[in-house]
Amino acid sequence: MLCFAAAALTLLSAPAAAHDSVTGFTSGPSTGEGNVDPLFSLHLNGANSLVVRPTANYIYFDTRDATGAVETTSPQASYGLGYRYTGNRLVFDIGPAFQVLSQETKTFIGKTTQQMLMGAAFATHIYYQATPFTSINIAANYDQANRYSWSHAAIMERVTDLDSREAGAVLLGADVTEQGNSDVRQVSTGGVLEFAFDHGETLQLRAGCAWLNFAGQSSNTGAYAGLTLSQRF
């Protein structure tokens, strides 16, 4: 019990650590995305830092029009500059970015349209260590170039190595994501399995069910799965 109490006190008194996605992918019934997302932090003073985030993404989503299915693919690159607050239990990020993307749309009858789009993007992230073993993540971003928004919330519970004696721990949790634009909106929810290691690396496996609504009033439901490799800063 003394080891358990000491571990809990250490986790509560140490600065909160946010997970910054390095690389990952998610694939669903009609949407999917992959990302490489490093973060560079410049400490300013106290709990304040300046963060630089270059990002490369690949997004695809299927919609429908009067002729049938429409496939859209969109490789993207962005460069963001933001602010980070790091407290004992809370980490908060916020900042804008400049984004460039190449969007290709292919209809069921074979017509292909390509566009090069540029615009501002905006992202924010909150990580909160609610208890020594329970954490909450909330994140959102909006891309002005293609009017695409994404928001996500997750709660995780540490279920092994509660006295912090081992080299890693297992966490279980649940998450919910809402994303899309005027052509398609998707809501997905499911379970999360996370392996967290002492040096700050984490591996997350996610799976669940997704519900999609298309602009043409049709809908679709199916399973999704994803994997994320993260680094704790």
Q: What is the mean pLDDT of residues 23-34?
A: 88
| pTM confidence score | 0.83
Give the tens place of pLDDT for each residue, 142-164.
999 989 999 999 999 999 988 87
Q: What is the mean pLDDT of residues 63-78?
A: 81
Q: What is the mean pLDDT of residues 82-109?
A: 92
Among the listed residues 18, 25, 27, 56, the one whose alpha carbon sits nearest the alpha carbon of residue 204: 25
Backbone angles phi, psi at 36, to 5 degrees: -125, 120
> Which DSSP string do the residues of 76-119 spell out, in sequence order?
EEEEEEEEEEE-SSEEEEEEEEEEEEEEEEEETTS-EEEEEEEE
Of the chain, the end-to-end C-alpha distance in Å amounts to 29
Domains of the chain with CATH codes:
2-232 (2.40.128.130)
Give the tens place of pLDDT for each residue, 194-219.
999 887 789 999 999 999 888 766 78
Among the listed residues 176, 166, 168, 170, the one whose alpha carbon sits nearest the alpha carbon of residue 158: 170
Q: Give the per-residue pLDDT at 69.
A: 75
- Residue 87's pLDDT band, with cuts at 50, 70 and 90, is very high
